[in-house]
Homo-oligomer: A and B are copies of this chain.
Amino acid sequence: MSSTLKDKLLRKESGILTYGMTPPKSSHPPEKIREIADKQIERLRGAGIDGLVLYDVQDEAERTDENRPFPFLKALDPTEYYEQYLKQELGVPAIVYHCVACEGPDKLASWILRGRDEQRYSVFVGASSSRQQVQIRLPEAYRMSGILNERLLPGGVVIPERHRSKGDEHERARAKQEAGCGFFVSQATFDVEASKSFLSDYYYSSRESGAEMAPILFNLAPCGSAKTLEFMKWLGISIPKWLENELIHSVDILDKSVQLSRQVFRELYRFGLEKGIPIGCSVESVSTRKVEIEASIQLLRDIREDMSRIGAELAPSIPSHN
């Protein structure tokens, strides 16, 4: 099963679908963690995902002066949570977020070397703010990974919203790729215009230089309350004003956000397919409320349907890429 994700990533395929989750609080007793994991497994069984995405939650208090709408609670290590609670039971590979800016070279090296007999996937995360003290920079981390463990496939973060002001997100992505990054995952996506502008520059600059485009997984997350909306904004997620208004004034904010997220992804997926940019999707719930988690599972199923429908619809006109 795990070869599927590897093949799709290495062949730079469109339509990779993952589900993202944050490990439970580390203060929970093991039975409670087992219970949480079992619920997650039950929800995801048969959802047809290519893999899990496991976040490495950092406090990030240095990133902003605003108060965190939800308190920061130390979570289980994502690799351990996956290996002890999900791997066997769910039978899908995991892309594990790993903060490479948070530790020294020794610790990073041993993390990279861990479990070298099996295929692993990661998203390497750099400093969350320029105020954070950094021991290892991202390009070095990608190079270390390539040298130490060829069975670890490292990915990176893209922030298309940053492209609006800085205009260089495609160059940042390219630089990561050149250091060894094989795919990208975004933050929760609501800004179609900024995302398309990033994709467009990434596409045309790749075409010009003859470089291959790596799969880009757009993250989607339902928003079920004004508080979740505030939390998303606190996380730095960019939400166009009209979309925020639609959510705030909706009689059913959760259902509206699922509709709007689906609409956002459909437009991006279509845009990518038409140009041969390999686009995928990672769904998550940024909240731990049951209704929001369940909405994220529904969104996951909706996106899978949308992917097949749009794929079939555009199949005759899609440019062939290898």
Contacts and interface: CB of A to CB of B under 8 A. Distances in A.
Interface of A: 163, 167, 191-194, 196-197, 199-201, 203-204, 240-242, 245-246, 249, 271
Given A192-B192, A193-B240, 15 more contacts: A167-B241, A191-B193, A192-B193, A193-B193, A193-B242, A196-B240, A196-B242, A197-B242, A197-B245, A200-B241, A200-B245, A201-B241, A201-B245, A204-B245, A242-B271
24 contacts: A163-B241, A192-B192, A192-B193, A193-B193, A193-B194, A193-B240, A193-B242, A196-B240, A196-B242, A197-B240, A197-B241, A197-B242, A197-B245, A199-B242, A200-B241, A200-B242, A200-B245, A200-B246, A201-B241, A201-B242, A201-B245, A204-B245, A204-B249, A242-B271
A25 B204 CA distance: 40
Contacts of A203: 245
Contacts of A196: 240, 242
Contacts of A204: 245, 249
Main SS of chain A's interface residues? Answer: helix
Best-surrounded residue of A163, A192, A241, A246 (most CB of chain B within 10 A): A241
Contacts of A192: 192-193
Contacts of A246: 200
A270 to B, nearest CB: 12
Nearest to A163: B241
Nearest to A170: B241
Nearest to A199: B242
Q: List the 6 closest pairs (A to B, CB-CB), nearest first.
A: A200-B242, A197-B241, A196-B242, A193-B193, A200-B245, A197-B242
A200 B199 CA distance: 26
Contacts of A199: 242
A186 to B, nearest CB: 16
Contacts of A191: 193
Contacts of A249: 204
Nearest to A164: B241
A163 B242 CA distance: 11
Nearest to A249: B204
Contacts of A241: 163, 167, 197, 200-201
Nearest to A246: B200
A241 B167 CA distance: 9
Nearest to A190: B193
A314 to B, nearest CB: 16
**Residue with the highest number of chain B CB atoms closer than 10 Å, among A163, A191, A249:** A249
Contacts of A245: 197, 200-201, 203-204
Residue among A200, A201, A249 with max Cβ neighbours from chain B (10 Å): A200
Contacts of A193: 191-194, 240, 242
A196 B192 CA distance: 12
Nearest to A245: B200
Contacts of A194: 193
Nearest to A197: B241
A131 B167 CA distance: 29
